[in-house]
Amino acid sequence: MAATQTTPVKPGPDTGPGNELFAEKFRELLAMVRANRPTDDPEIIRKAWEFCLEHHKGQMRASGSPYALHPLEVASVLAEMKLDSTAIAAGLLHDAVEDTPVTTEDITAMFGEQVAHIVEGVTKIDKIQFANREDRQAENVRKMLLAMVSDVRVVMIKLADRLHNMRTLQHLSPERQQAISRETLDIYAPLAHRLGMGKVRGELEDLAFRYVDPFTFQQVHDAVEARRAEGEQFLAGVEALLKEKLAENNIKARVEWRIKRLYSINQKLLKSKISVDQVYDLLALRVITASVQDCYAVFGLIHSIWRPVPGRIKDFIAMPRPNLYQSLHTTVMGEGGHQFEVQIRTEEMHRIAEEGIAAHWKYKDPGSPISPRDEQRLAWIRQLVEWQREMTDPNEFLSTLKIDLYPEEVYTFTPKGKVVVLPKDATPLDFAYSIHTEVGNTCVGAKVNGRIVPLRSRLRNGDIVEVVTQNGHTPSRDWLTFVKSSRARNKIKHWLNEHQRERAIDIGRKLLEREARKYKVSLAKFEETDYERVAADYSVATHSDLMAAIGFGKYSARQVLNRLSPGLTQPAAAEPEQTAGEMSDAVRRVSATSGTDSLQVEGHNELLVYRARCCNPIRGEEIIGYVTRGKGVAVHARNCPNVQNLLYESDRRVSVEWARPVDEAIARRQTYPVRLTIFCDDRTGMLKELTAVISDENANIRTVDSRTGQDEAIVEFVVDAEDVRHLARLVQGLRRVPGVRDVQRSPKL
């Protein structure tokens, strides 16, 4: 979308202010501004024009004309639209930042914030490469364009720019002609329509039609031309008759007529699948009155002269279109069976229909329902129109009109230019999930506009987002705290649930196996049908669901085993049937079935439970369990710093207790390795005395390491302690050794 006809800078003809063609055109521009906006100061326009001439000097367009002609033409279109001098100056400068070494700072210094801001907005849009045509994309691109600009004049300049580029499109290659015309039809013409700029829209459409479908264009063109003379003659007759009747009835009104535009004729043909001969509203008459009452008077008058075609009467005065278009429409049957459409409106309505108002809104095609939110926006626009009437200075109106049309959405791009619409404050992660679930699940980072950003950063309108993924990476529960789109949220939750379920099935299976071993039951003897029968007993669907229910603590493994093979186990009388439970209950009940009141935290042989390596708790210490992904339950000391960090995922915490030794005689004495660091005097015999204390306490020494510093020694032991009391005795004993300054337990081994 960059300036479509820029060629590399090369020497061209003299484009200085002395050039006669330019001088004449510029005088016309100033005259138009003076006529349309007498109070505007033309000085800024003059300054902008000089700046434009200077900085585009030597640049040429594909047509071979000096580049500066393009900004001048764009400014003329803007002046025709009756825009203010700020907008016209910005129009003259609109390609300066894009195509010359001029910076936004330069523009600010010379022309002030407003002009610079507008030029910057136009440049920003120019830089975006829109993806190829995709039906659903077009609407998003249009919305994004509106969302990206904060000043309505940016869009006006963009439309004027496109209009002039379309008018001079013949100089480009056929491929460029196609692409630019397509984009014009998809993006710019509808945008002009939405802004109520009927004239610009019509011209853009007809210009684009010629290039997008030259064959059909020629067909429609020829058909219309063949009937033009006849049509014009007919309409001239209609006009004369109508004028006569208006005078008779003392109604002041002017009458216009035209042959409809080719693109809109073709749209009609496509829609109703008829031939060009059958298009009844090829011919259009317009009556412009002084008042609304006169509109309805003319309406009645016309129907008294010509017979209306049923179903073609529309009152857009009582029910304005969403873009504020107002008119009475009717189609009537003229002499010789000629049908023609009549539009009746006031001067004010006519102005709005042709030029649009300086306002934006979300437009839906007539007929489609308008959401309450759209309704709200429209109310806002109507309010603006009211304000506009009250304001004496139109400049004031334009500069106070800031667009924030889609405050709840943000428009971003893939590197290939596809528009991705996300909720406001969305993050790169939301973006990733909108591309594909797997892209979201494996997302490890993102580049926004080429720079690496954190996953939780907020995206802004126009950001180009590139997702970085890594195979095997998986979602984190933490993501739920910052994603904004419901899609991302649901996908993450789904993944977490799925994987928690897998884990639960695994735990359930192991618990059942352990229970079976305990009762010396071979699970191998059960058939799949046995599991299905028990599953049905518990009203769960499948074998897996049954295992998951055990894993989640809904039912105990013993209950299930007993159902599988009644009488094999002694049902615990006190054990109630569990109906519901959370993960946190799950693991505790696991232990209940294994004959103790708490989770088995015996460590090495336990598949499900392991001591967290960060704190290595030992028997007797206050502990807390944490369900890890795919590894089982990590047991931390309650005072472990990591526990503080784990608190926010409270649903993954489980209560755990040290298991009571079931049978002390049989059970091997369980010990836990502990690392002790001793700071002491560096003296002979120290190490020997320390080792003696440890062996006196019947503790095994796994490793010993000592080093000496300036005036002290540091000795590190890894010893096997039975529990906290045993450890406390060891530490006390070590502290009593003369020359020992401190004994510390290191959390890590």
Instruction: Quote the distance between the C-alpha of residue 656 and its chain's center.
Output: 43
User: Can you point out the beta strands (E) in 638-735?
Assistant: 653-654, 672-681, 701-708, 712-721
3-state helix, strand, coil in the chain (%, to 5): 50, 15, 35
Instruction: Give the closest residue to 144 by CA, choosing from 412, 376, 378.
Output: 412
- Given the complex with Mn ion, which of 3 and 52 has the nearer CB atom? 3
Q: Which is nearer to Mn ion, 99 or 621 (CB)?
A: 99
Locate 157 and state its tokens.
């300049």
What is the SS3 string spanning 424-464? CCCCHHHHHHHHCHHHHHCEEEEEECCEEECCCCCCCCCCE
CB of 161 to Mn ion, least distance (A): 4
Which of 67/257 has CB closer to Mn ion? 67
Strands (E) in 130-242, as ranges, are none
The rounded distance, in Å, linking the Cα atoms of 241 and 577 is 94
- Closest contact distance (angstroms) between CB of 107 and Mn ion is 15
- DSSP letters spanning 583-639: HHHHHHHHHHHTTSSS-----TT-SSEEE-TTT---TTS-EEEEEETTTEEEEEETT
DSSP 253: E
Counting DSSP H helices and E strands in the chain, the numbers are: 27, 19
Helix, strand, or coil (residue 294) = helix
CB of 108 to Mn ion, least distance (A): 20
Nearer to Mn ion, 91 or 617 (CB): 91
Q: Which residues would be at the binding site for Mn ion (CB under 5 A)? A: 3, 95, 161
What does residue 505 show for φ and ψ, rounded to 5 degrees? -60, -45
The nearer residue to Mn ion, 161 or 545, going by C-beta atoms, is 161
Active site residues: 98-99
Residue indicated by tokens 């009388």: 573
Nearest CB to Mn ion, comparing residues 77 and 287:
77
Output the 3-class SS for 163-223: HHHHHCHHHCCHHHHHHHHHHHHHHHHHHHHHCCCHHHHHHHHHHHHHHHCHHHHHHHHHH
Report the 10 Å Cβ neighbour count for 692. 12
Instruction: Please say which residue, 3 or 238, places its beta carbon nearer to Mn ion.
Output: 3
CB of 74 to Mn ion, least distance (A): 6
CB of 165 to Mn ion, least distance (A): 7
In whole angstroms, give the CA distance from residue 699 to residue 673. 10
Nearer to Mn ion, 161 or 355 (CB): 161
Polymer length in residues for the chain: 749
Q: Name the residue with tokens 């521009």.
A: 29
Q: Nearer to Mn ion by C-beta: 5 or 591?
A: 5
**What is residue 534's three-state secondary structure?**
helix
Question: Shortest gap between Cβ of 166 and Mn ion (angstroms)?
Answer: 12
Tokens found for residue 589: 């009940």
Q: In what order do the strands lie in the sheet with 653-654?
A: 609-611, 632-637, 623-628, 653-654
In the complex, the smallest distance separating the C-beta of residue 154 from Mn ion, rounded to whole angstroms, is: 13
From the list 671, 627, 639, the residue with the least C-alpha distance to 502 is 627
Nearer to Mn ion, 161 or 621 (CB): 161
Q: Is 181 or 559 the residue whose CB approaches Mn ion more closely? A: 181
The 8-class DSSP code of residue 276 comes to G
| 328-333 and 339-346 strand pairing | antiparallel
Contact at 8 Å (CB) between 206 and 262? yes
Residue number with CB closer to Mn ion (129 or 732): 129
Least Cβ distance, residue 236 to Mn ion (angstroms): 40
* CB atoms near residue 407 (< 10 Å): 9
| Complex with Mn ion: residue 5 or 671, whichever CB lies closer | 5
Cα–Cα distance measured from residue 413 to residue 448, given in angstroms and rounded to the nearest whole number: 10
- d(CA 52, CA 675) in angstroms, rounded, equals 77
Strand order in the sheet with 451-453: 451-453, 443-448, 465-469
Pairing outcome for strands 451-453 and 443-448: antiparallel
Pairing state between β 609-611 and 632-637? parallel
Minimum distance of Mn ion from residue 99's CB (angstroms): 8
Strands 740-746 and 712-721: unpaired
Q: Taking the complex as a whole, how short is the minimal distance between the CB of residue 95 and Mn ion, in angstroms?
A: 4
* Contact in structure between 454 and 489 (CB atoms under 8 Å): no
Dist CA 254 CA 297 (whole Å)? 14
- Per DSSP, the three-state class of 520 is coil
Alpha-carbon distance of 627 to 609, in angstroms, equals: 9
Give the span between the Cα atoms of 311 and 279, in whole angstroms: 16
Q: What is the closest distance, in whole angstroms, from the C-beta atom of residue 216 to Mn ion in the complex?
A: 29
Instruction: Report residue 536 CA to chain centroid gap.
Output: 45
Q: Do 23 and 66 form a contact (C-beta atoms < 8 A)?
A: no
Backbone angles phi, psi at 52, to 5 degrees: -60, -45
